Chain A
Amino acid sequence: MSDEVKQEDKAGQGRGPLLDPEIFLAVVIVFGIALAWIGLAFRIPSALIGALTLGTIALVTGDLVWSLDFLRAAGEAKDEGTKKALNLERDRFNRVHRPLSLLAGSLAFVIFTGWTVFASFAAVPDKALWAWIAFAANILTGVLLWWIGPKLSTGLKSSGSESTGTLTPWLRFSAIIIWIAAPASIGSVYSIESSPVGYLIWLYRIAGILALAFQAELFIRASWSLISPKAKVIEETPLPTLIGSISMGWQYGIRIEKGENRIPSLFSDNRLRWLTVFFRQSLPRVVLGLLAIMWLATSFVQVGVSEQGVRERFGGFTGEILEPGMHVGWPWPIDRVRRFPSRRLHIMQIGFQAQEYATRTNLIWTEAHGIEEDRFVTANGNEVISFDIELYYRISDIVKFAYTSNNPEALLKDIAYKAILLRTNATDSDSLLSRDRSELASGLKEDIQRACDSEEIGIDVSQVAIIAIHPPFEVAAYYQAVVSMQVYADTLAIQASTYREEIIPTRQAEAQISIDEASAYAARRVAIARGEAQGFTLVADAARPAFDVYSFRRRISALETGLEGKRLFIVSSRFIESERGDDRGLWFDLR
């Protein structure tokens, strides 16, 4: 410890401004960032929201506490020099440190959080691409912040700003945060199973845990110093010295070394405490211990409820099959257990590939369903037909499954396709569409199982489910048109029958009317005849005694009735008699 520092050490045994603003802000902001790291590292979105809220509250609290503490210190100040120093510090804080601290911390937080959240949660078509873009952006942003720090410091100094010593460290501290967080973009997108790049997530997680541990210590110290009347002198803490803060005086019991842009070695100073001391002294043992534990942990293996395992010793199969539960063996690389989901019912799609199993599409002949659909040639090569089949199977013999073929499921798929080929190449589509589906399915199941047994791949086919047999969707409408025409033909017959139902009764009614009319005519005719005959008889009987008189009377009456209004030419009989010998005759002009 330098003399200058020691003198300041003694002088500063009382309490000056309790909180250096940028240090406290750094603590709370990075604490918030650390929580955000943890949340994102373990994919806990609510932790991110909590970290954002905590950071904001801490920012406001820190500012409030500083203000209260300043007022307290200003009230206790006895001499003008101290008061002036306090005022200067207040001015410095308001003009320079507060906005720059907020800017740097917020910038780091926003860029880190924004890019990482965007890469992890945004619904983008290619998350991996965006993750790599976020990674590159984080790296470039860190480089920019690291480079721009000294430039800004120089610029501010030349413009007369009193102190900009903390700006560069702040910006570089932000750059370090961003660089450590950059792999988070990648690690949050790739899973370890899909790519070794997924292991980057552990870098992120470890950095987050360490940052959280360090910041938790600082936060506890800061909080404790608020209530402790005389905080113990602690010379250094890792983060502020890492960023080379030049803040003076006592900050919640922590003494900060003078220095501008200085980054001392974390492990060379004996005045470190707590976590740093622990890590410095015990790190190798801790690391070795952890490695040993991890290595011994490989002796234990848990076989899941739907799994079985085969134990290999130095690569060779020991003959031991492991049932579900916890098992112990030799650690890696002596023993290794390969697990297979032997009790799980697997489903394999044959003839089509649906987009996602969980979101089935409607199987309509005239609509393309799924990503791909295979066609099978039939009817002497003149027709094609589609088969949509789901194959349900289990692993029946785990040893055969593991060691007979390198990809038994691929072989199963080929066997299934072959079985369908043999069922389709000897017939036509009409026969396939009309045959008994259950018989076809059971036949396929037998064929596939027989082939699996022959290949000894250790698979048991539980069921073959025929989802659909249909013509290609390009011609399906024409198949449906045949059915439509069948229905249309039935409709025509029904319409014709309806016509018959309408016409026949009508005609029968008309026929009956005609007969009834004739009967009525007959009755009337006969009645009239009888009436007239009776009348004639009566008149004849009455007229017979004086027939001459009756006949004369009737004759005259007839003349009266008939000649009324007629033109009459009455010629004397004597004139006719006199002209009888003349050949000219008697002519009348009737015009």
Chain B
Amino acid sequence: MQKRIRVTIGLGVVILLLISACMYQLREGSVAVITRLGRPHRTELNAGLHLRYPWPIENVYRFDNRKRVLETSFTETLTRERKNVILLNYAVWDINDPLKFLQALHGAADLQIAEMLLDGIITDAKNAVMGNYDLSALVSTNEEDLNLAAIEQDIHTLVAQAAEEQLGVNVYEVAILRLALPQDNIARVFEQMRSERGQYAQRFRSEGERIASDIRSATDLEAEEILAEAEETAAGIRSQADAQAASVYAAAHSQDPQFYRFLRSLEALEAILGENATLVLDTESAPFDLLEEE
């Protein structure tokens, strides 16, 4: 009894294994190429459960056929004007002809190998196209010079054709993802940016110093004008005072000019005679006339 059960179970397992070997699942978004004894037999595009002969009669190669995005490597290339530029692209692609795709990969269903091949195709197209454009077509403050869309279109045209012929893939889009400059150029760009900023900084500094100087100069001028004006006023006041005093004196002295001359002469005499003065007088004047005998 036990042996019968064991045999039944064993047979059941074998049958299950056989059934599973004669079927395969194809997931949504995938395609498959079925080879029979090594020769491509058919392509399956619909998802679900499908029948097949078991290995080694038939072999199923599955590919994820959803859109894939490939980021290429950074590639340094020359523009038409011999300027170096580094470009990073991305491409959106999927498998158009699964059989051709499988054959291109030498029977290895490795999408990474496919992407490596596609990367090479894109790089080649990139180099070819960029030789027809200047750097200003990629980056320019003058929008009329920019021609990014045309560059991408040219690259896409070359890539799509080559990819379809060589790999059996659809390339929907090839776009420029990043634009960079070589390391040496970057260093120079930094230097230029520093110089430019230094120029702006110096400009602000000079402008500030000029404005400050103007303010100081105007201040000094105004100060001098204030002082000059004040001095002029003061001089006028003094002059007026002197004139007024002179008129007072004149009014008084004109009443008795002779007496004024006399008093003034005496004052002058007292002021003139200094400590070291030597006088020679005769005896005709008083009080020295007393020295003469009568």
Contact = CB atoms under 8 A, between A and B. Distances in A.
Interface of A: 312-317, 333, 374-384, 402-407, 410-411, 414, 417-418, 421-422, 424-429, 455, 471-472, 474-475, 478-479, 481-482, 484-486, 488-493, 495-497, 499-500, 503-504, 506-508, 510-512, 514-515, 517-519, 521-523, 525-526, 528-530, 532-534, 536-537, 539-540, 543-544, 547, 551-552, 554-556, 558-559, 561-563, 565-574, 576, 588, 590
Nearest to A534: B252
Given A383-B193, A497-B215, A521-B237, 9 more contacts: A414-B175, A425-B148, A426-B139, A488-B205, A489-B208, A511-B226, A537-B255, A540-B260, A562-B273
What are the 4 A-B residue pairs with the smallest beta carbon separation, nearest first? Answer: A489-B208, A511-B230, A522-B241, A518-B234
Contacts of A547: 259
B181 to A, nearest CB: 6
B184 interface: no
B57 interface: no
A472 B273 contact: no
Nearest to A522: B241
Given A421-B177, A507-B223, A316 B48 contact: yes
A402 B253 CA distance: 126
Given A478-B197, A489-B205, A565 B275 contact: yes
Nearest to A416: B177
Interface in B16-51: 25-30, 46-49
Interface stretch (B102-110, B158-166, B285-293): B285-293
B249 A532 contact: yes
Given A484-B201, A552-B286, A566-B273, A425 B179 contact: yes
A414 B249 contact: no
Interface residues of B, number: 111
A409 to B, nearest CB: 10
B245 A551 contact: no
Interface in B140-190: 140-141, 143, 146, 148, 175-181, 186, 189-190
Given A376-B179, A403-B29, A566 B279 contact: yes
B143 A561 contact: no
Nearest to B199: A482
Contacts of B245: 525-526, 528-530
B124 interface: no
B227 A381 contact: no
A514 B139 CA distance: 71
Contacts of A497: 215
Contacts of A559: 287
Contact of A504 (B29, B49, B68, B226): B226
B279 A563 contact: yes
Contacts of B112: none
B202 A485 contact: yes
A474 B197 CA distance: 13
A590 B277 CA distance: 11
Contact of B193 (A478, A544, A554, A569): A478
Contacts of A590: 278
Contact of A414 (B71, B231, B291): B71
Contacts of B223: 503-504, 506-507
Contacts of B277: 566-567
11 contacts: A315-B48, A410-B69, A414-B175, A455-B92, A478-B197, A481-B198, A500-B215, A529-B248, A532-B249, A554-B263, A568-B281
A448 to B, nearest CB: 13
A478 B47 contact: no
Chain B at the A interface: SS class: helix
A191 B95 CA distance: 34
A507 B198 CA distance: 40
B220 A503 contact: yes
A558 B264 CA distance: 12
A455 B172 CA distance: 10
Given A316-B47, A558-B269, A485 B201 contact: yes
Contacts of A381: 83, 85, 135-136, 138-139, 181, 189
Interface in B239-287: 240-242, 244-246, 248-249, 251-253, 255-256, 259-260, 262-263, 266, 269-270, 273, 275, 277-284, 286-287
Contacts of A428: 141
A496 B215 contact: yes
Contacts, number: 336
B190 A525 contact: no
Nearest to A518: B234
A404 B67 contact: yes
B140 A570 contact: no
B198 A478 contact: yes
B80 interface: no
B251 A533 contact: yes
Residue of B30, B226, B246 with highest tally of chain A CB at under 10 A: B226
Interface in B78-101: 83, 85, 90, 92
Contacts of B58: none
Contacts of B46: 316
A521 B176 CA distance: 91
B222 to A, nearest CB: 6
Contacts of B136: 380-381
Contacts of B200: 482, 485
Given A313-B48, A571-B282, A488 B204 contact: yes
B71 A514 contact: no
A407 B202 CA distance: 51
A317 B238 contact: no
Contacts of B234: 514-515, 517-519
Contacts of A510: 226-227, 230
B259 A543 contact: yes
A405 B66 contact: yes
Given A523-B241, A525-B242, A539-B263, A383 B189 contact: yes
B139 A425 contact: yes
Contacts of B201: 478, 481-482, 484-485
Contacts of A429: 193
B1 interface: no
Contact of A403 (B66, B186, B190): B66
A289 B259 CA distance: 158
Contacts of A499: 215-216, 219
B233 interface: yes
A427 B175 CA distance: 20
B7 interface: no
Contact of B66 (A315, A404, A472): A404
B213 interface: yes
Contacts of A567: 277-279
Contacts of A534: 252
A526 B179 contact: no
A418 B177 contact: yes
A382 B192 contact: yes
B193 A471 contact: yes
A426 B26 CA distance: 47
Nearest to B83: A381
B283 A422 contact: no
A481 B197 contact: yes
A377 B198 contact: no
Contacts of B113: none
Contacts of A472: 190
Contacts of A544: 256, 259
Given A492-B211, A507-B227, A540 B256 contact: yes
B212 interface: yes
A512 to B, nearest CB: 7
Contacts of A376: 178-179
Contacts of A424: 139
A131 B69 CA distance: 36
A333 B219 CA distance: 94
